[in-house]
Structure 1
């Protein structure tokens, strides 16, 4: 998969969510979304 293809899938996915397309944001947000649920679970556990 090229970065171009990934960008297309990400922008398509964001449109489905109703978010405006943002070029740099998806790559920065995806790792955060993966980490956010893990941190509270570890603190509570």
Structure 2
């Protein structure tokens, strides 16, 4: 088991075009639990 009880769905970056022509850019690094789970998957 990887230690988590949630879906493995994450977007590190999102770019959303806005109606006025600008682009909303969002970033969300993975949290510590996610990072540990990813490291275990890579072993």
Higher relative contact order (CA 8 A, sep 6+): 2
Which one has a bigger Cα radius of gyration? 2
Query: Which TM class, normalised by the smaller chain length?
Result: under 0.3
Task: State the TM-score, normalized to the length of structure 2.
Answer: 0.27
Structure number with higher helix proportion: 1
- Richer in strand (by share): 2
- TM-score, L = length of structure 1: 0.26
